[in-house]
């Protein structure tokens, strides 16, 4: 029973991770930019939804409003900042996205303060009983919404003409230009979609864990996800998100207590701390050494 | 010429060391804060600016230097504690760098990010060595049997370490290993084609950079007297990369300029905030300014303060030359001897 309970929590948070990681992969595929600031958009989405409900909107409407607002923020970021940095070296692009993260955190800190806030109830209270365990609607909604959206997103990419132009722009931007695709507009669209996904992920995470500035560090958890899944694979980030969500939940729920009781019995060590926060990075370290392109990624070739 | 430049450089450093004893406590604190940060930024500049390996584990490496030097210093070591911090930093840097032998660019950056988080976790867990989250007290550094306690003394020591690191690293860049760094930065395949041992070159970069980072970490430990895991978190790594970006990559002076800027501007904003009694908004304002500065520098002056300063100096000399036409004529004549027959004889 307990194992099932842990597993459902893992699936719920894991699918939200997948949603956030999808956004990072989308931008990377399209423009070669890795958005280290994705956590900033996650946090901003949650705070925007909070502000809109405080302004009198109903929670579902506020969520939609926050997602639209984030899409606008994402497109604006691309237009104002990233479009000017097309030829900049990797370190500069990484650093500019980190600068955006710092800026967003500071803005949220200035407006809403450092304390945890009570996030409005978006989904009905209560729980469903399934196979002998209780799952709150929050978890059900987070898992179902993220998974459905991720799959819809993959379908959009595969089957619509806009998805086709996005893939073309990502695959070979010069060839895409030659057949009449406005590549930089496609990149703007990718940023808007990615930020909207991040914003929704932020709202879902805030319903699960509460609203505070620490939401911004979720962007850094998304990196193990994309490395594990492969930086270029949308499907990979979906699978890897679920794997890492489960891994975190099981480390927190089963491994940490077992390890601590063992260590307390045999050594003077009392606590292993927040082990679940490090496990994804240990996994990433190993993964990068063994198979740097990830589970689903493709190995790139390089010309001199 | 090179010897003369070195002599001038050392003379400036000696003057700065002498001058730091004339400073007040706060002034001396600012001087050692900037000098220590600049030492770390120099090391990162070697790794990223000259050898092309992006690292987000600089904060954790500084932490390793601080914890090692702190433990050795508490055990009664003097100079050895400083050196020990450097050696520990070098070893850790090489270990973190091992993935770089297979990975490149972005993937290596993510690997260093992972290393940063794992080390941060170890700082919290390894209580016998680090005293965990409550932090480790570090007794003052003993040099020649005398404990250093004043900020002025640490300012002088930090400037001396910064000078040594600067001269040492600049000298390395004039060796074959140093020139190999530049080729590896530009293109690893080309480097291989030229017969450069890429693995060995990268290991040298990690070793040297780690040693200097460890030294700066040791000084961080001795000046703050308390080492806590939060002090060496990812934000310190980001600060160090920001110094590199704001100052200018691949230019030694850029590290000092960047360190001064990143360390002093928040301090100035804090002073300003205190003057306007806006203490609650203070940390938010600092962060906001920091984020904005990074973005603006990358957008409008990606080559950093060093390039900005050089352009400023050139503009000023041109302005001065325009005011003094005869002097300017003499200048152009001597600089471009081919334009005038008379000056050709002079050469």
| In-domain check, residue A302 | no
Do the beta carbons of residue A60 and residue A27 sit within 8 Å? no
> What is the share, in percent, of chain B residues with pLDDT greater than 90?
14
Average pLDDT of span A69-95: 86
- Here the tokens at position B69 are 């030097």
A79 touches chain B (CB under 8 A): no
Average pLDDT of span A175-202: 87
Give the nearest partner residue to A106 out of B114, B193, B288, using CB atoms.
Answer: B288
Q: Does the pLDDT at position B317 exceed 70?
A: yes
Element (H, E) at A135: strand A133-136
Residue B82 pLDDT level (bands cut at 50, 70, 90): confident
Q: Does the pLDDT at position B272 exceed 80?
A: no
Residue A234 pLDDT level (bands cut at 50, 70, 90): confident
Please give the ipTM for the structure prediction: 0.81
CA distances from B265 to B30, B255, B287, B288 (A): 11, 15, 11, 12
**What contacts A8, CB < 8 A, 6 or more positions away?**
A133, A135, A139, A143
| In-domain check, residue B149 | yes
Q: Does the pLDDT at position B221 exceed 80?
A: yes
Do the beta carbons of residue B107 and residue A288 sit within 8 Å? yes
> What is the share, in percent, of chain A residues with pLDDT greater than 70?
94
Terminal-residue alpha carbon distance, chain A? 57
Element (H, E) at B147: strand B146-147
- Residue found under tokens 């979720």: A218
CA distances from A296 to A169, A227, A236, B305 (A): 20, 10, 5, 42
Residue B64 pLDDT level (bands cut at 50, 70, 90): very high
Q: Does the pLDDT at position A302 exceed 80?
A: no
- Residue-level pLDDT at A303: 46
| In-domain check, residue B263 | no
A-chain residues near B189 (CB < 8 A): 302, 304
Residue A136: strand pairing partners: A127
Residue A299 pLDDT level (bands cut at 50, 70, 90): low
Residue A276 pLDDT level (bands cut at 50, 70, 90): confident
B-chain residues near A223 (CB < 8 A): 110, 113
A259 touches chain B (CB under 8 A): no
| In-domain check, residue B325 | no
Q: Does the pLDDT at position B155 exceed 70?
A: yes
B-chain residues near A96 (CB < 8 A): 294-295, 298-299
| In-domain check, residue A301 | no
Q: Does the pLDDT at position B267 exceed 80?
A: no
| In-domain check, residue A224 | yes
Q: Domain containing B126: what range?
A: 2-233
Mean pLDDT of chain B: 82
| In-domain check, residue B89 | yes
> In this complex, do B99 and A282 lie within 8 Å of one another by their Cβ atoms?
no
Q: Domain containing A83: what range?
A: 2-290
Which of B20-29, B86-95, B295-304 bottoms out in mean pLDDT, i.e. has the lowest?
Answer: B20-29
Structural domains in chain A (count): 1
* Helix, strand, coil share of chain A (percent; to 5): 75, 5, 20
Q: Does the pLDDT at position A263 exceed 80?
A: no
Mean pLDDT of chain A: 82
Q: Does the pLDDT at position B241 exceed 70?
A: yes
Q: Give pLDDT tens digits for B196-208.
A: 888 888 899 999 9
Q: Give pLDDT tens digits for A46-77.
A: 999 999 988 888 888 888 999 999 999 999 99
Residue A270 pLDDT level (bands cut at 50, 70, 90): low
Q: Which residues of A263-280 are buried (b: 16+ CB within 10 A; e: fewer)?
A: eeeeeeeeebbebbbbbb
**Comparing A257 with B178, which gets the higher pLDDT?**
B178
Q: Does the pLDDT at position B210 exceed 80?
A: yes
- Residue-level pLDDT at B63: 93
- Window B:137-176, CB contacts with A under 8 Å: none
- Residue found under tokens 């002079």: B346
| In-domain check, residue A106 | yes
In angstroms, rounded to a whole number, what is the distance separating the alpha carbons of residues B101 and B91?
Answer: 16
Do the beta carbons of residue A284 and residue A48 sit within 8 Å? no
**What contacts A29, CB < 8 A, 6 or more positions away?**
A170, A190, A232, A234
Q: Give pLDDT tens digits for A10-36.
A: 888 888 888 888 888 888 888 878 888
A209 touches chain B (CB under 8 A): no
Q: Give pLDDT tens digits for B117-128.
A: 889 888 888 777
| In-domain check, residue B175 | yes
Q: Does the pLDDT at position A170 exceed 80?
A: no
A-chain residues near B249 (CB < 8 A): 91
B-chain residues near A275 (CB < 8 A): 121
Q: Which of the residues B191, B295, B296 would you substitute to probe the A interface, choosing the one with the greatest number of A C-beta atoms within 10 Å?
A: B295
| In-domain check, residue B218 | yes
A-chain residues near B109 (CB < 8 A): 90-91, 94
Q: Does the pLDDT at position B67 exceed 90?
A: yes
**Comparing B339 with A99, which gets the higher pLDDT?**
A99
Average pLDDT of span A78-93: 82
Q: Does the pLDDT at position A183 exceed 50?
A: yes
| In-domain check, residue A303 | no
> In this complex, do B109 and A302 lie within 8 Å of one another by their Cβ atoms?
no
| In-domain check, residue A144 | yes
Which of B86-95, B136-145, B328-337 bottoms out in mean pLDDT, i.e. has the lowest?
Answer: B328-337
In angstroms, rounded to a whole number, what is the distance separating the alpha carbons of residues A202 and A214?
Answer: 11
In angstroms, rounded to a whole number, what is the distance separating the alpha carbons of residues B342 and B347?
Answer: 10
Q: Does the pLDDT at position A268 exceed 50?
A: yes
**Comparing B314 with B333, which gets the higher pLDDT?**
B314
| In-domain check, residue B326 | no
Residue B291 pLDDT level (bands cut at 50, 70, 90): confident
B125 touches chain A (CB under 8 A): yes
A290 touches chain B (CB under 8 A): no
- Residue-level pLDDT at B333: 44
Residue A117: strand pairing partners: A211
Residue B332 pLDDT level (bands cut at 50, 70, 90): very low
CA distance B25 to chain A (A): 31
**What contacts A209, CB < 8 A, 6 or more positions away?**
none
**Comparing B207 with A130, which gets the higher pLDDT?**
B207
| In-domain check, residue B329 | no
Structural domains in chain B (count): 1
Q: Does the pLDDT at position A41 exceed 90?
A: yes
pTM of the predicted model over 0.90? no
Q: Does the pLDDT at position B195 exceed 60?
A: yes
């Amino acid at each position: 029973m307990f194992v099932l309970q842990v597993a459902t929590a893992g699936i719920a948070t894991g699918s939200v991770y997948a949603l956030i990681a999808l956004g990072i992969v989308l931008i990377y595929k399209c423009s070669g930019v890795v958005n280290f600031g994705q956590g900033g958009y996650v946090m901003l989405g949650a705070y925007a939804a909070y502000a809109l409900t405080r302004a009198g909107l109903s929670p579902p409407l506020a969520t939609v409003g926050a997602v639209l607002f984030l899409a606008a923020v994402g497109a604006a970021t691309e237009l104002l900042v990233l479009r000017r940095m097309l030829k900049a070296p990797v370190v500069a692009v990484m650093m500019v996205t980190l600068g955006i993260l710092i800026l967003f955190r500071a803005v949220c800190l200035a407006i809403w303060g450092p304390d945890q806030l009570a996030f409005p109830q978006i989904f009905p209270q209560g729980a469903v009983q399934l196979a002998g365990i209780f799952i709150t609607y929050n978890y059900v909604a987070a898992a179902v919404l993220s998974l459905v959206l991720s799959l819809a997103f993959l379908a959009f990419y595969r089957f619509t003409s806009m998805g086709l132009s996005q893939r073309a722009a990502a695959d070979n931007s010069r060839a895409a230009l030659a057949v009449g695709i406005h590549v930089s507009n496609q990149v703007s669209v990718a940023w808007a979609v990615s930020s909207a996904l991040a914003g929704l992920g932020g709202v879902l995470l805030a319903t699960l864990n509460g609203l505070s500035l620490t939401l911004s560090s979720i962007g850094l958890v998304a990196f193990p996800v994309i490395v594990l899944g492969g930086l270029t694979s949308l499907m990979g980030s979906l699978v890897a998100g679920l794997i890492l969500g489960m891994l975190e939940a099981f480390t927190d729920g089963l491994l940490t207590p077992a390890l601590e009781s063992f260590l307390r019995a045999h050594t003077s060590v009392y606590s292993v701390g927040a082990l679940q926060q490090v496990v994804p990075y240990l996994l990433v370290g190993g993964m990068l050494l063994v198979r740097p392109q990830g589970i689903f990624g493709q190995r790139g070739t390089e010309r001199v | 010429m090179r010897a003369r430049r070195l002599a001038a450089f050392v003379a400036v450093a000696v003057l700065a060391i002498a001058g730091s004893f004339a400073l007040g406590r706060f002034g001396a604190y600012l001087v050692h804060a900037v000098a220590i940060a600049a030492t770390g930024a120099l090391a990162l500049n070697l790794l990223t600016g000259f050898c092309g390996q992006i690292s987000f584990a600089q904060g954790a490496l500084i932490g390793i230097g601080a914890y090692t030097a702190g433990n050795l210093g508490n055990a009664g070591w003097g100079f050895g504690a400083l050196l020990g911090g450097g050696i520990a930093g070098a070893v850790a840097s090489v270990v973190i760098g091992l993935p770089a032998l297979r990975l490149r660019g972005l993937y290596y950056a993510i690997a260093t990010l992972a290393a940063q988080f794992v080390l941060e976790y170890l700082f919290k867990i390894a209580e016998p060595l680090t005293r965990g989250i409550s932090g480790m007290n570090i007794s003052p550094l003993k040099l020649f049997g005398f404990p250093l306690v004043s900020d002025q003394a640490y300012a002088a020591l930090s400037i001396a370490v910064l000078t040594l690191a600067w001269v040492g690293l600049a000298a390395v860049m004039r060796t074959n290993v140093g020139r190999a760094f530049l080729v590896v930065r530009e293109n690893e395949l080309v480097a291989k084609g030229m017969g450069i041992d890429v693995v060995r070159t990268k290991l040298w970069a990690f070793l040297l950079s780690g040693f200097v980072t460890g030294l700066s970490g040791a000084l961080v430990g001795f000046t703050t007297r308390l080492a806590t895991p939060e002090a060496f978190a990812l934000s310190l790594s980001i600060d160090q990369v920001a110094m590199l970006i704001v100052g200018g990559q691949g230019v030694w002076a850029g590290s000092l300029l960047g360190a001064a800027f990143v360390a002093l501007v928040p301090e100035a904003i804090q002073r300003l905030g205190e003057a306007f009694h806006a203490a609650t908004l203070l940390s938010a304002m600092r962060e906001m300014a920091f984020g904005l500065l990074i973005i603006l520098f990358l957008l409008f002056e990606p080559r950093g303060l060093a390039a900005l300063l050089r352009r400023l100096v050139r503009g000023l000399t041109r302005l001065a030359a325009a005011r003094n036409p005869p002097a300017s004529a003499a200048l152009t004549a001597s600089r471009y001897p081919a334009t005038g027959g008379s000056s050709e004889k002079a050469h």
